[in-house]
Structure 1
Amino acid sequence: MIKVIVSVLLLALLCCGIGYQQLQAALSMPLNVTNSTLFKVDRGTGFNQLCKQWQSKQWLDSCFKFQVLAKLDPTLTDLKAGLYELDSTSVIDNIRRINQGAQVSFSFTIIEGQPLREVITNIAKQTHLKQDLDEENLAKQISNKDENLEGWLFPDTYHYHSEDTASSVLKRAYSKMQTELDNAWQNRAHDLILNSPYEALILASIIEKETGLASERPLISAVFTNRLKSNMRLQTDPTVIYGIGADFDGDIKRKDLTTYTPYNTYKIKGLPPTPIAMPSRAALLAAVNPPESEYVYFVAKGDGSHQFSKTLKEHNRAVQQYQLNK
């Protein structure tokens, strides 16, 4: 009888040892994918279902070992829906990634100086992003206001996960612009000619479009501020181009400068009715803190920089030198 008991105990120990070795091997067993692979975990997916999906793809040879591990560690069965990047690390490491909700992240960038139409076109091309924008009621959808959304989306890179919506990304950009504009307005010059944060947003968008060198933003702001103070027209080409819209062929003509639109600052006095692009933080700060300057003119040199002038005579000379090459 004792021999039988000893034999049974030895057999049990042997089985336990083999089982332990099998579980240890399972802990380090790699997932059989050759490259990093995107895999979607649907809402409600259970551990056994996930394991069978991977087995059907021949990413692992058996589910049994992992089902035993899941019995020993129930946290493995807590699967979070989403899109994940799987790799050839261990099966358990890949499952842990899903347990932690470490989804693959994508990004969308709004570039400084982009107009709204380009932002909407670009976000519509984003992969793994639900396209839910209501273009006819876009401002209401994003800002909950009946306002022009131009200028209100802060230029930055926004990260998102699969199944996030385009509107949620733009709402974040809108909220960030509200914060940045409020911060800039709170730190505005005490004698600023602008009457509201929205006017600052408009001017900042013009500064953004006129600036080739970041270091020139303050001087560009000073020129426009001096013009506003003197009741001079801003006479800035980017506003004219914005007013032409989709019909602009890339070449601004004399007739464009003489044809009235609400954005033709050669024809109207003061600021246009809305921003013309998405301004950066630097442009916002330049708009509300223009340096003291007597400059009221500037002309592009052709290398991204500008020649600034205090008088029309100086300006005409600069035009001759840099634009007409005389």
Structure 2
Amino acid sequence: MGPHNYKEQEEAFTAAALSVASLLNHEFVEERYRKSRELDPIVGVSFTGLFDFFVIAFGVDWLRWWEAGRPETVEGLELKRQEQEYLTRWREIVHRTVWDYCDRHSLKRPNRCTTVQPSGTKSLLTGASPGWHPPKAQRFLRRITFRKNDPVALACIDYGYNVVPSQSDKDENGNLLNDPFDPRCTEWLVEIPVAVPWADLPGADQIEIGKFSAIAQMDFYMQVQKFFVRHNTSATIELREHEIEALGSSIYEAIQNDEGYISAALLARFDAHQTFPRLPFEPITKQQYDQFKQEVELRRQNENFHAALSRYDAGYSMEAGPAGCDSDKCLFSEQK
């Protein structure tokens, strides 16, 4: 939806609100769930791709403001005001729609109707940035974990995507395997080149998204938490060691001042990609992206992904699809 098409935005959030409001008609079998619903009925309308939306709305100047740490200059305060207007408008549409539905169907009104849930693989593969978060880069290689010979992964091969063994598959010397059909290989990584919708915006390539400060991320997360979300915002703030003190102070102040902060996950940034090969997200240049896209098209044996999938899976398999977790933290070995 376009940033200046307010009618389309209202229709989208109204549809989302109605889809969750209808769930309040569900009757739980479990007594404790019924009691919880009676005491505190809740629903959650979420979004993804917010960062992309604001880049398109405000242009490269918004990215440069992020690069500077989102300072509260005259221009910065105006950008924050406009962010707040969008977020507040969407929240009010959701609450108005849900409450109207409840009143018409004699249901108890939820007092919280908005959230930002963790973004799954499907939304990321559309090229949308995850939830409120900045993308990993303007262009990146997305690696999704599948079990070996998974029907979806086999269809991906026919469609032209490259497949390599996962990070857990190594030879007797501890070296990563390279052949996905090696008998020692148990999991596959499907590599998909992805570009954000604004990747070709003039000047956008000069912005290093991977260097956005933890404080800037915290500031934007709190915008979403204050002005849209009434549950909790799924948030992962990426930081470097020298940012720990400042971020800690920012979180402490948000709690002390009762600004609505609930929780955020913290993740150390991996600047040396060679130290962690085959990451779920690997930033790439425009030249690499164009090359990978060309290689995908050259390898492609079937232009129709659904037809390719039908070759390997006649119906829906409970085991088919991406692994339950392929995030950065899953790369660490489990402590015994």
Asked if these proteins are the same fold (TM beyond 0.5), I'd say no
TM-score scaled by structure 2?
A: 0.22
Which is bigger in relative contact order (C-alpha 8 A, separation at least 6)? 2
Rg larger in 1 or in 2?
1
TM-score scaled by structure 1?
A: 0.22
